[in-house]
Structure 1
Amino acid sequence: MTPPPAEISPLQPQVLVVPLSAPLQWLRLGWRDLRRCGPLSLAHGVLLAAFGLALMANAYQHFWLLAGAFSGFLVVAPVLATSLYAMSRAVEHSSSIGWPLLRDTWLSWQQSRFMESGGYWCLVRFGLLLALAGTGWVVTSAALITLLAPVPIKAPADFLRYVVLSRDNLLFETWLAMGGVLAAPIFASSVVAMPLLLDRRSNLLMAVLTSWRVVLANPGPMAVWAALIMFLVLISFATAMLGLILLIPVLGHASWHAYRALVDASALPERPRAQ
């Protein structure tokens, strides 16, 4: 049974506590939504898998860049899944699901003023912040590997031999540590922020702080959730990106159910649903 949430301001979303096994339930619900939404969900996976293949083809001879780009992709993934959240929201409300829903979800920012509190522009601003963070990591990762690797890293075999398996330096450990330093606060800031911004009229600061409160209240389940995401993404990369066709929609829908399980935002006004 879920413990009652802590007493907070009535205008703040309430953070709920979930069991350690909750991420598995979110994945199951994500798979259910994928089956209900069908081709529209899979289209997201197909597009991102195609992007991954194009990135691999163009940067294969510069693996130092490729490694950072793929890990940077995880940083901006919550933004790319916005329309998947909208589809799960529509399923929840038994609303129609079609291309107009996706179009309206991505273009709704045009209907509000830039400085409007709780307007759609807060989603755009959050997306830009994540994009900057992802770009920063790509540049940092590329610079680290280029400057500290004993030989030029041009192919996956070079990365494996001279970075991952090298015993002469701590480059791989340093690379992982720097990635973790960046990834941990971004994960904590974004785990429920984008679904909350889509669902309720919340400002960006409130959404990010709610995301941090969720992580602090559920350290075990959040660690399991992060580990599951990383594991599934690595498996997808190992399948030459083809696994992303299923993984992206499942994780996107599952992230919506994570938000619904972790946050009670009923105190905030609901954002109108796209038709």
Structure 2
Amino acid sequence: MAREGKAQMETTGQDSALNTPLSPPRVASDLTLGDLAKALGTGWRDFLAMPRFGLFFGGVYVLAGLLIGWVTVTGGNLTWLIPAIAGFPLVAPFVAVGLYEASRRRAAGAPLTWGAVLGALKGHGDDQILSMGVIVFVAFSFWMIVAHAIFAVFVGESGMGRDPLAALLTPEGLAMLGVGGAVGGVMAFAFYAMTVISLPLLVDRKVDFLTAIIASFAVVRRNFVVMLTWAAVIAALLFVAMLPGFLGLLVALPVLGHATWHLYHRAIA
């Protein structure tokens, strides 16, 4: 009984040590491209050390992508397929919340249990992470509305009833892809800047989501070239991983999720 009580106290102490108390985040201004390479290497090692978590969250992401593709194809809404796939990476940071928790626990030597990792979505009992989840959903929905508006402006009724691929190869379709790509790129980067540090911070510390978002924007602003490069790395890896029927995301998502946690740890003192 004494040993069990002691073990329970040690476990509780480990968990408590993980949750940094309220304090203003201090943002680094000296990130380098070497930090990105180091984060990717550490993220890969985290994935190999605890693949069950990576494959689980990667599997959830893959199933979500396949479901989106199935709904658009079977529903005859192929014109929605491209914006849906293009906007799909927007939800990746929220799916990766459990991966941040797994990396944090592994680094701290705390127990790696499903309850603890999945419980990260609840945050610190203050619904801040769930609030960010609502923002993620709204951002994805807003992108779909904007994409539909761009389609209506450039293609409109002329694209209705036509082969979607043929419609995209027309001058109007190519113009739509150009404008949609530019608008989508700006929106995606703004959303990336808002979430890349804020979600790991909410997992790590008891702060409100506005404070976390401000810290995330600050990291991107103070380390713009490095963080822009990280955004390009994430976009490229996710795009390549989606090509083989989304299956590459089984590895790409967890590695990037674990790596983002370690980059956050470097960015927030």
Q: Same fold (TM over 0.5)?
A: yes
1:1-275 alignment runs, 5 A limit: 11-16=23-28, 17-60=30-73, 61-107=76-122, 112=125, 120-149=126-155, 150-152=158-160, 158-159=164-165, 161-163=166-168, 165-168=169-172, 170-264=175-269
- Structure 2: which amino acid aligns with 1:152? M
Distance 1:88 1:257 in 2: 8
User: In the TM superposition, what is the alpha-carbon distance from 1:122 to its structure 2 partner?
Assistant: 1.4
Overall identity of the aligned pairs, in %: 27
| Cα distance change of structure 1 residues 154 and 100 upon mapping to structure 2, 3 Å threshold | farther
Q: Is the 8 A contact 2:54 2:250 kept in 1?
A: no
What secondary structure sits across from 1:178 in the alignment?
Answer: helix
Gaps of 5+ in 1: 1-9, 113-119, 265-275
**Counterpart-to-counterpart distance in 2, 1:106 and 1:215:** 24
Residue 11 of structure 1 deviates from its aligned partner by 4.4
Taking the aligned partners of 2:35 and 2:118, their CA distance within structure 1 comes to: 31
Name the CA distance, whole Å, in 1 between partners of 2:122 and 2:175: 46
Give the conservation status (yes or no) of the 8 Å contact 1:62–1:153.
Answer: no
Please name the residue that 1:273 is paired with.
Answer: none
What secondary structure sits across from 2:200 in the alignment?
Answer: helix
Any conservation in 2 of the 1:46–1:245 contact (CA below 8 Å)? yes
CA, structure 1 residues 98+181, in 2 after alignment: closer, same or farther (shift >3 Å)?
same
Cα drift, residue 227 of structure 1: 0.6
Matches of 1:127 and 1:74 in 2, distance apart? 14
Distance, in Å, in 2 between the alignment partners of 1:193 and 1:38 is 25
Distance between the aligned counterparts of 1:44 and 1:226, measured in 2?
A: 20
| More helix as a share of residues | 2
Q: How far apart, in 1, do the equivalents of 2:57 and 2:86 lie?
A: 19
Q: Bigger shift: 22-31 or 213-222?
A: 22-31
Distance in 1 (alpha carbons) for counterparts of 2:147 and 2:39: 31
What does residue 116 of structure 1 align with? none
Taking structure 1 as the reference length, the TM-score comes to: 0.81
- How far did 1:83 drift? 0.6
Q: What SS does structure 1 have at the residue aligned with 2:216?
A: helix
Point out where structure 2 has 5 or more consecutive residues left out of the alignment: 1-21
Counterparts of 1:95 and 1:175 in 2: how far apart (Å)? 45
Q: Which protein shows a greater Rg?
A: 2
